[in-house]
Chain A
């Protein structure tokens, strides 16, 4: 495996379900990110983990709970979601110690909340 891998690729869940999205990076990076991509809206940064510490939480509702157990893995735990949470959730990684380091994205999880 190379790059950034996200699972599952597609997820359908009811509003009362609990599910988790998984992201794994094989690039040796030390920062990981969750972005939300909704139709007709710019990409929204949700969470940033740098050196395994959460350094940013962009006013994301508590029904989204991130977890970063080590520098290679990132999870997004989902609970009691709303239909408006349906979107493409993108994970990314970068080398935070390099100023011009770009983000490397996974292929995303397409989430549908019914």
Chain B
């Protein structure tokens, strides 16, 4: 069975500071990994995905994530936070050949203060 753990339900940073949102997964086979963002009153929007082509994945809005197999981690980072980054972020894992079924983490709410 697959699972995803997001460490920290709330993360608060200052504008311009580094953003680090943590995600650890468990999977019996190499997984596909995703990060999504959800703004208030909206659905989930794909930020980036890992598909084994490269361990460092760049996404939209300046975010990137690094796949570390030895640590079973896929942490999301952004060098400099912007006020518009305030949202909830979800890490998700998918096993190959499981059609589109994603298993989501519990989400991390990012607050950015001036």
Give how many B residues have a beta carbon under 8 Å from the other chain's beta carbons. Answer: 22
Give the shortest distance, in Å, between B72 (CB) and chain A (any CB): 18
Q: A56, B101: Cβ atoms under 8 Å?
A: yes
Q: B90, A48: Cβ atoms under 8 Å?
A: no
Segment at the interface with A among B14-22, B44-52, B73-81: B44-52
A74 interface residue (CB < 8 Å to B): no
B100 interface residue (CB < 8 Å to A): yes
Give the shortest distance, in Å, between A29 (CB) and chain B (any CB): 9
Chain B residues with Cβ below 8 Å from A90 are 43-44
Q: A94, B100: Cβ atoms under 8 Å?
A: yes
CB-CB nearest in chain B for A94: B100
Chain B residues with Cβ below 8 Å from A6 are 43
Q: A107, B43: Cβ atoms under 8 Å?
A: yes
Chain B residues with Cβ below 8 Å from A55 are 99
10 closest A-B pairs (Cβ-Cβ)?
A: A105-B43, A94-B100, A100-B51, A43-B104, A105-B44, A96-B99, A107-B43, A99-B96, A102-B46, A42-B106
Interface of B (DSSP majority class): loop
Chain B residues with Cβ below 8 Å from A4 are 43
The count of A-to-B residue pairs whose CB atoms sit within 8 angstroms is: 57
7 A-B interface contacts by CB (under 8 A): A45-B101, A55-B99, A90-B44, A92-B44, A102-B34, A103-B46, A105-B45
Chain A residues with Cβ below 8 Å from B96 are 99
New contact pairs (9) apart from A55-B99, A107-B42, CB-CB < 8 Å: A4-B43, A43-B90, A43-B104, A92-B43, A99-B96, A105-B36, A105-B43, A107-B43, A108-B43
